Every structure is written in structure tokens, then in C-alpha cells.
Amino acid sequence: MAPAVGATILHADLDAFYASVEQLLDPSLIGRPIAVGGGVVLAASYEAKAFGVGAGMAGWRARRLCPDLRFVGGHFKEYQRLADRVMDVFNDFTPLVERISIDEAFLDVSGSVHLFGTPSDIAVAIRERVRTEIGLPVSVGVARTKHLAKVASQVAKPDGLVVVEPEHERAFLHPLPVELMWGVGPVTRGRLAERGIRTIGDLAATPSAGLQHLLGDAVGGKLASLAVNADPRPIQITHRASSMGAQSALGRRRATPELVRVTLGYLSDRVAGRMRAAARAGRTITVRVRFAAMKSVTRSVTLPVAISTTRTLTELASELAHVAIDDHPSEREISLLAVSVSNLVDEPALQLELPLRLGDDRHRPGTAAGAARWALDRSVDAVRARFGREAVGYAAVVFSDVSAVPEEFRELAEKLTK
């Protein structure tokens, strides 16, 4: 169903979700600056955010910014249970619910107004039910498109409601900072600021060709469209991921071969495991390297056959990362590594190949070497399914300190992207 003419798209986003759940479970934490995590901040309450504490920050830095900060361990099963209850509330108002993460969703209420009133009335009712029945704050944006509804919900935070009617779209959007838009992170924001583009209005006034030259065809064209609220994307009730990926923030560390290999080994294990769980494999591998100065570069390769094995993905990802690093010899430190696999296809079973020596046997799943890797990973998956993820793994990853994030938190974050 395409977006309706009026403002009938809602974006509902639970406020500081993980921290809010902790405060719900322990009322003594209400009003106090708290962070979920320990060595790394996984989530922070608004009271902690006021001091500059944010997700991904090292624990020592967070404590320095906020001396009264209290760390809590995290109740991962409660996060999932309560988030699912919130989604049940959404479904009581409309079947057109697109859940995009554990704590946020889009709703199309164009077919519900005859039952529950105007979209604004529905948003008010949703917020009231989530607060009274579950005990959590939720901010809601109401607009004509998904893009604008999401921007409106950000403006509404914390615990608010913003409705943007079609005749007021430009007046609402244009004064807002560009970082409220989808896809505008610190690097893109910096590039735009260098050209004097700081608001969405500035962005809308910039020719699309100029943005594409500055940011690339895909990103520049997308932002040019969103700046004028040209967003035809419909609500998708069922969603199958077109890619799977994972990333790891590293702080500032020297880009040694060991760091690259271990980190990408860990990330590849996660990504490949998720692909296998979904009976999927992919042909295009993309690696992103972010250097200490916040500059990010990507390298990718498209294979003739789809892969899903951990070791093969690790090898290919490591090769791509080293190419990116070698292309920037002046950069000695990196702050993030990421790997993703796209061009996904179904892989319900392994298709064996004749021994024709068509290329690297290790990277072709149907060869003897590739089939051995395929079988090994399925055995690892079976052991983990029965005894837990930490029961077995690749030695280089198991005996490293690459991940400071609890497995339960990663699995929760990745659940909806499978």
C-alpha cells in the first residue's frame, strides 16, 4: 500500500528504550543518570545523555563525563518481552505495521481512521496505552511519508507527539539540522557543513547534481529527494533483508594485521551464522574501514558464486580491509571495522561442483575444500543451537578480547535483521 495523501504514516519510537526498561524494573533508578553496559556504554538514559554520555562510548570516558553515572547489567529477555508487547499495541490499531528495530516501527493508519479517529487521535491513544499498560514512554511522529514521520518523532523526543500536516511540511522541515535526516552521520554532516549546508532547507535549495558530486550519486540523490519530502516508500508488512552485516567500534587502535584478522573473524562469524540460519548466501562482500580522523572508506567484491561460510567470508573481508588500509598509508589508526554481505540468494542445500578447477577451490562452496568448510560451519551451528553460542568457535576469535558487548545484546539487536 502506497502512502496516502494525508498525514497517515506514524513512526513510533520508544524513548531511550534499554535504559527506560531498567528504570521500569527498578524505580529507584528513575531520574538518575544510568547506562546499560560496563566496559562499553550500550545505552544511556536521557539523564546521562545530558552529560554527553552515548552508546558505544568507553565506560571510563562516560564516568569522566558523568561522575554520578550508574552502570546496570541489562535484562535482555525483558527488553524483548516488553518490546513485543508494545508491538502488540500497535497491531491493535492497524495491521499495517513495519517493525524496523526492536524498539521502533512505522504504522499506516489510513484504513483505521473510521474506527479510532484521526491519525493524531490514534497516536495519542497509542502513547497512552503504551504508558499505562506497559509503563514505557514512546515518541510518535505523524506525517505523509516515512521519512518525515521519522524526523517528526525525533523532534518529539523525549516522550512527545508531533503531527506534520501536508501543507506545513516545508515550514517544519527546512529549519531543522541536516543530521536529523536518514543517512546523515558525522562524516556526511561535516562535508555538507564545509559547503555551508547546515539545515534541511539549505539541502533542499542545493541542486541535486551538486549533492551527487559532493556525496556520490546514490547518497546525494537520496538526500536531495528526502530534503523535499519525496519519499514514495510504502509500509512493508513483511521484510526480508537484502543484506546482512555487522560492525565493531574499536576506539583508536593501530591497524595491525592481527587486529584486522581477529575483528573481521568475529564479525564474519556473526554475519555468516545469520545467513546460514536464514538459509541464505551472498555474492557481494563489502568492508568498511573508518580511520581515527572519522574518514570512512569501503571496498567490495562480487563473487561468481554465493558464499555463507565463516572462514571464507573472513578471508575475503580481511583482503578487502587490507586493500583499503594500504590505499591510505598516512592513516595509522582505525576506529571501526564493518562487513556486510549482499546479493543474497536462497541456499537450502549445498550444490556440489565437478572438479573443473574454475578458481580458488576454498572460496567455491561446491568444491571439496568449500564443501568441507560448509559442513564444518553447520556442525558449529548445531553445537551452538544446543549448548549456546560460546560452546564452540574459531580459536583466534574465542581467545581474543574483540567484543566488549554481551552476546545477548548483539543477538537482540540483530534479531530483526535476519
**Which positions are catalytic?**
104
Give kind and range of the element (H or E) at residue 21: helix 17-25
The closest of 54, 44, 48 to 17, measured between CA atoms, is 44
Which residues are bridge partners to 281 per DSSP? 345
Q: What are phi and psi of 304, to 5 degrees?
A: -70, -20
Query: CB atoms < 10 A from the CB of 177, how many?
Result: 12
Q: What is the dihedral of CA 329, 331, 337, 339, to 10 degrees?
A: -30
Helices 257-277, 368-387: axis angle to 10 degrees equals 80
CB of 279 within 8 A of CB of 347? yes
3-state class of 4 per DSSP? Answer: coil
3-state class of 324 per DSSP? Answer: helix
How buried is residue 74: exposed, middle or buried, by Cβ count under 10 Å (0-12/13-18/19+)?
buried
Residues contacting 199, CB < 8 A, separation 6+: 174, 175, 176, 177, 178
Which residue pairs from 301-306 have beta carbons closer than 8 angstroms and sit at least 24 positions apart in sequence? 302/343, 303/363, 304/359, 305/364, 305/365, 305/366, 306/281, 306/282, 306/343, 306/344, 306/345, 306/347, 306/365
In the numeric block, the cell 506514524 is attached to 10
**Encoded amino acid at 51, one letter:** F
Which residue pairs from 366-369 have beta carbons closer than 8 angstroms and sit at least 24 positions apart in sequence? 366/305
In the numeric block, the cell 580522523 is attached to 293
CB of 376 within 8 A of CB of 63? no
Question: Does residue 158 have a cis peptide bond before it, meaning omega lies within 30 degrees of 0?
Answer: yes
CB of 150 within 8 A of CB of 226? no
Q: Grid coordinates standing for 201? A: 532547507
